[in-house]
Structure 1
Amino acid sequence: MAAVALLAGVIALAVASTRAARSEAGSLPRSIPAPGGGWYSGLAGSGGETFKPGRTKCGYLVTPETRGVAHSVLPCDVKLFISYNGREVLTQVIGPGPYVAGRQFQLTKALGDLLDLQGTQEIRWRYAG
């Protein structure tokens, strides 16, 4: 009887462990604070010539619904959290740019609209991991 109880306990732990691993694998990345616990900041604009309809140099198809950013140094596919105007979104680098002097980031029009970012504004950002 004790052996059956022990076996049932081992099976229950294995099932719980498998479920927890699946849950963690399906969760969103966490926001990684900048050194000192804060955020990085940079100037960003929305729309413009950086994201024309078609494929980016990173291979992403740009449509009116595409939400992503261009950055001149960060490589394709880097995931970021961007915060502006009280909103925080998870996005990723989908192309090089921006092609406007003074901007660190260029947001697709759809992402700019989601954040209500107009013109060139200072945003806060963190890596996602």
Structure 2
Amino acid sequence: MFHNRFEGKTVLYVVVAVLAVTIAFGGIVASASAENATPDPKDQEITKLRAKLSALETENAMLIGKNRELTALNAKLTKAVKSYAAKVRALRARAWSLYRKLRAALRRLATMFGPWRSAKASWYGPGFYGHGLAGGGVLKPNMKIFAHRTMKFGTRVQFKYRGRSVVAVAKDRGPYIAGRTFDLGPGTAKALGFDGVGTVRWRVIR
């Protein structure tokens, strides 16, 4: 009987011990769960930093893309500027060449003509058609010629009279009346609307 009581107490002690351990372990687990349920400020800060880092990486990728676009655009712009500069240089060279040619042409043109002068002139035609000319050939109605006492045959002279102008060639000798310098052929007088005796403007064309 004593033995049975001892065994009963032993079992009771074991049960109590197990309950105590269970309660203690449950408290530890509950405490750990409570601690895990409370957010750690450091973890929150790390999460925020990771989010910022991700945003910065995204922004950096966008900036890299923009930089590539700007680099490509700058290359195109540089190429366009070089092409434009080359065209400008070519146009300047061409303009300078044209300017020099024009200047030379104007100089030649200036030396082609003598100064304008005034002189008395008469004309001849009807009654002389078919007559020989001192410079060769015979006089015809529409010949733009003139007679001069000393001017070399073949010399070209530009005449002006009352707003009209004509170029004629020295082909005959005359006039032999004092005070007159030229005797205009029929074609020359007709082109000028010249009749009789009058003052004409003239210059040599070389």
Q: TM-score range by the shorter chain?
A: 0.5 to 0.7
Q: Report if the CA contact (8 A) 1:31-1:126 is conserved.
A: no
Does residue 77 of the first structure (1) align with residue 154 of the second (2)? Answer: yes
Tell me how far apart the structure 1 counterparts of residues 176 and 130 of structure 2 sit (CA, whole Å). Answer: 16
What is the percent sequence identity of the aligned residues? 27
Aligned residues: 97
Letter in 1 for 2:161: Y
Greater CA drift, 47-56 or 71-80:
47-56
Match of 1:100 in 2: 177
Determine helix, strand or coil for the equivalent of 2:147.
strand
Match of 1:42 in 2: 119
Match of 1:111 in 2: 188
Asked which structure has the greater RCO (Cα within 8 Å, sep 6+), the reply is 1
Higher gyration radius (CA): 2
> Tell me, which stretches of 5 or more residues in structure 1 are unaligned?
1-23, 25-29
Tell me how far apart the structure 2 counterparts of residues 128 and 61 of structure 1 sit (CA, whole Å). Answer: 24
Letter in 1 for 2:130: P
- Provide, for residues 66-99 of structure 1, a one-character-per-residue CA deviation record: whole Å limited to 9, x for no partner: 1110001211111111111101111110011112
Tell me how far apart the structure 2 counterparts of residues 31 and 90 of structure 1 sit (CA, whole Å). Answer: 13
Tell me how far apart the structure 1 counterparts of residues 173 and 126 of structure 2 sit (CA, whole Å). Answer: 12
> Tell me, which stretches of 5 or more residues in structure 2 are unaligned?
1-104, 106-110
Tell me how far apart the structure 2 counterparts of residues 88 and 42 of structure 1 sit (CA, whole Å). Answer: 15
Match of 1:3 in 2: none
Determine helix, strand or coil for the equivalent of 1:110.
helix
Match of 1:68 in 2: 145
Q: 1:128 and 1:57, CA in 2 relative to 1: closer, same or farther beyond 3 A?
A: same
Q: Report if the CA contact (8 A) 2:129-2:141 is conserved.
A: no
Tell me how far apart the structure 2 counterparts of residues 110 and 74 of structure 1 sit (CA, whole Å). Answer: 19
**RMSD, matched Cα:** 2.4
If the length of structure 1 is used for normalisation, what is the TM-score? 0.66
Q: Report if the CA contact (8 A) 1:69-1:91 is conserved.
A: yes
